[in-house]
């Protein structure tokens, strides 16, 4: 982490990343000490274990950032450093001891240095070596727009599911295949696979299981027999002892390069259960096409990194697309479902709750050519009493929440306000909620809240698949 006496900008950023790595290692060893001292304290042991896991991912992404920067891959570096910037520690919720307080201070140090490194990367990406032009991190609300070079929205390469993939293994319910569970098939995938896809064909059937694709299982592909035919279902929820929202996912993916097609992912947790995730992803370069995500609160947890959803159907009611990934949803059908308890009473639904915590993070949600409407049951309730059934495009889970809808069809159920506050004025000055060229009865911007924006025509292309998630850079593979 030594800076030369007359450093160039790249060396300054490398040095900041080195300091981040050291802070992370310090936090790791402090958390290990907390773990050793927590025998018999289930809450603290759980929190420390989860946090160690989180830190190890951050360490991996921070190292990758350093290497990407060395190779001149600035967009990758920004994506990975954005993912390394963990928000808060699970330890925050555990009774404070001196050790916990010390660890939190190491973490704060890491967050500050990482945030600075990220903001320098944004400036470096936009202004190069001309350090006098470098600025503190700003957002679209401040009039700052990342430079764009890739194809425009609706033009140029998009991402699609590769054709002609041959299955490596098959899963089926009738005992005639090698694997009867999806997890057993995932376990058979090689660790740290290069660019070759490991293809798992999941035959028609209802698979009641909780599936994890671990960090070292890269390029895993699920191919089903169709929405409603191949169904992976679970019912874990955040009301259960020791279970966090992150843990509730029916399918949770950590390995990069994940793909899925023709599958229903669902969480059937009952009405009293709070967060219950059907699918969660931290997979960089992940692509899901023609999939169904069914749940209520927190259906789809796009937790981190670059993700693409094409021709999918996503259903829920409370914050049901949430997380802090850089995610593009193209040609998707977004469906608001009735609440499970007393659905006729009325409610406030938010389609999205994007969780960006730093203005320099390259994360956000982009909806291109999607339709936003309700299930048949919800629309019956809405039409019977539109005043009490209120649905919104999103609400700001974190300070720099960023979500845009471009060329989408917004149904009548979208409230004229368009967007919902989270709590008072929280985040309303720092978020970016943008709309452009939407159609349908819910698209009228004349009554929108003052803190939402019309995206200027000349900047819409910032949110193309090529510019926002670097479609042209995704690994080509067979």
Residue 177 corresponds to which tokens in the numbers above?
A: 């295949």
What pLDDT is attached to residue 95?
Answer: 59
- Neighbouring residues of 454: CB distance < 8 A, sequence distance ≥ 6: 434, 435, 436, 445
Q: Is 319 a catalytic residue?
A: yes
For the chain, the first-to-last Cα distance in angstroms comes to 39
Task: Indicate whether 166 pLDDT > 60.
Answer: yes
Give me the mean pLDDT over the 354-371 stretch: 98
What pLDDT is attached to residue 361?
Answer: 97
Domain at 169-473, CATH homologous superfamily: Single-stranded right-handed beta-helix, Pectin lyase-like (2.160.20.10)
Residue in 247, 282, 292, 298 annotated catalytic = 298
Q: Which of 211-215, 330-334, 338-342, 428-432 has the lowest mean pLDDT?
A: 338-342
Torsion angle defined by CA atoms of residues 394, 117, 56 and 285, in that order, rounded to the nearest 10 degrees: 50
pLDDT band per the 50, 70, 90 thresholds, residue 195: confident
The 10s digit of each residue's pLDDT in 108-147 is 888 899 999 999 999 999 999 999 999 998 999 999 999 8
Give me the mean pLDDT over the 177-187 stretch: 98
Torsion angle defined by CA atoms of residues 428, 431, 434 and 440, in that order, rounded to the nearest 10 degrees: -50
CA neighbor of 100 nearest in space, from 24, 44, 57, 54: 44
Q: Which of 203 and 110 is assigned the larger pLDDT?
A: 203
The 10s digit of each residue's pLDDT in 401-423 is 999 999 999 999 999 999 999 99
* Domain boundaries for CATH 1.20.140.40 within the chain: 9-137
Q: Which of 250 and 99 is assigned the larger pLDDT?
A: 250
Q: Which of 370 and 423 is assigned the larger pLDDT?
A: 370
Backbone dihedral region for residue 342 (phi beyond 0: left; psi -120 to 50: alpha; all else: beta): left
Q: Among residues of the chain, what percentage have pLDDT more than 70?
A: 95
What pLDDT is attached to residue 48?
Answer: 85
- The Cα 190–Cα 182 span in angstroms is 15
Give me the mean pLDDT over the 369-393 stretch: 97
What pLDDT is attached to residue 270?
Answer: 79
Task: Indicate whether 257 pLDDT > 90.
Answer: yes
Task: Indicate whether 159 pLDDT > 90.
Answer: no
Residue in 256, 262, 292, 319 annotated catalytic = 319
The mean pLDDT value of the chain amounts to: 92
Neighbours of 413 (CB within 10 A): 22
Q: Per CATH, which fold does 9-137 belong to?
A: Butyryl-CoA Dehydrogenase, subunit A; domain 3 (1.20.140)
Q: Among residues of the chain, what percentage have pLDDT more than 90?
A: 76
The 10s digit of each residue's pLDDT in 220-248 is 999 999 999 999 999 999 988 878 899 99
Task: Indicate whether 477 pLDDT > 70.
Answer: no
* Domain boundaries for CATH 2.160.20.10 within the chain: 169-473
What pLDDT is attached to residue 156?
Answer: 64
Give me the mean pLDDT over the 297-315 stretch: 97
For residues 81 and 121, the answer to whether their CB atoms sit within 8 Å is: yes
Give me the mean pLDDT over the 163-190 stretch: 96
pLDDT band per the 50, 70, 90 thresholds, residue 1: low
Task: Indicate whether 388 pLDDT > 60.
Answer: yes
Q: Is 272 a catalytic residue?
A: no
The 10s digit of each residue's pLDDT in 55-106 is 999 999 999 999 999 999 999 999 999 999 876 666 666 656 777 777 778 8
- Neighbouring residues of 124: CB distance < 8 A, sequence distance ≥ 6: 9, 10, 13, 74, 134
Task: Indicate whether 4 pLDDT > 80.
Answer: no
- The Cα 302–Cα 318 span in angstroms is 15
Task: Indicate whether 340 pLDDT > 90.
Answer: no
- The Cα 252–Cα 278 span in angstroms is 9
């Amino acid at each position: 982490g030594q800076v030369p006496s007359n450093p160039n900008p790249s060396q300054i950023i490398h040095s900041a990343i080195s300091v981040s790595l050291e802070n992370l290692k310090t936090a790791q060893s402090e958390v290990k000490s907390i773990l050793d001292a927590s025998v018999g304290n289930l809450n603290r042991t759980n929190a420390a274990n989860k946090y160690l896991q989180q830190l190890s991912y951050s360490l991996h992404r921070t190292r990758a950032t350093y290497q990407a920067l060395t190779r001149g891959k600035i967009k990758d570096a920004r994506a990975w450093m954005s993912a390394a910037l963990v928000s808060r520690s699970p330890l925050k919720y555990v009774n404070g001891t001196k050790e916990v307080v010390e660890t939190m201070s190491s973490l704060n140090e890491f967050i500050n240095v990482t945030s600075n490194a990220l903001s320098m990367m944004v400036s470096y990406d936009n202004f190069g070596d001309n350090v006098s032009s470098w600025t503190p991190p700003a957002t679209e609300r401040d009039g700052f727009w990342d430079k764009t070079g890739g194809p425009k929205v609706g033009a140029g390469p998009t991402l699609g599911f590769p054709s002609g993939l041959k299955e490596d293994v098959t899963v089926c319910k009738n005992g005639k295949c090698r694997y009867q569970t999806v997890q057993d098939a995932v376990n058979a995938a090689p660790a740290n696979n290069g660019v070759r896809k490991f293809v798992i064909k999941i035959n028609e059937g209802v698979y009641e299981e909780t599936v994890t694709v671990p960090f070292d299982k890269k390029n895993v592909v699920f191919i089903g027999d169709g929405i409603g035919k191949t169904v992976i279902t679970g019912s874990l929820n955040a009301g259960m002892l020791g279970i966090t929202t992150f843990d509730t996912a029916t399918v949770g993916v950590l390995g990069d390069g994940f793909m899925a097609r023709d599958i229903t992912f669902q969480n059937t947790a009952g009405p009293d259960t709070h967060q219950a995730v059907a699918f969660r992803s931290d997979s960089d370069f992940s692509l899901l096409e023609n999939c169904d995500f069914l749940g209520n609160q927190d259906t789809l947890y796009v937790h981190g990194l670059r993700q693409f959803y094409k021709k999918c159907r996503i259903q829920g009611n409370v914050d049901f697309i949430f997380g802090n990934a850089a995610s593009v949803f193209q040609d998707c059908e977004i469906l608001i479902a009735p609440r499970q308890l007393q659905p006729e009473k009325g409610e406030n639904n938010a389609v999205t709750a994007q969780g960006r915590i730093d203005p320099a993070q390259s994360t956000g949600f982009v909806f291109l050519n999607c339709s936003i409407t309700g299930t048949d049951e919800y629309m019956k309730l809405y039409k019977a009493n539109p005043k009490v059934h209120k649905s919104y495009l999103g609400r700001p889970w974190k300070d720099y929440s960023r979500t845009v809808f471009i060329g989408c069809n917004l149904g009548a159920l979208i409230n004229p306000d368009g967007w919902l506050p989270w709590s008072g004025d929280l985040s309303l000055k720092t978020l970016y909620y943008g709309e452009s060229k939407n159609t349908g009865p819910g698209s009228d911007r004349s009554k929108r809240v003052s803190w939402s924006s019309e995206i200027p025509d000349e900047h819409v292309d910032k949110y193309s698949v090529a510019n926002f998630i670097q479609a042209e850079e995704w690994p080509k593979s067979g």
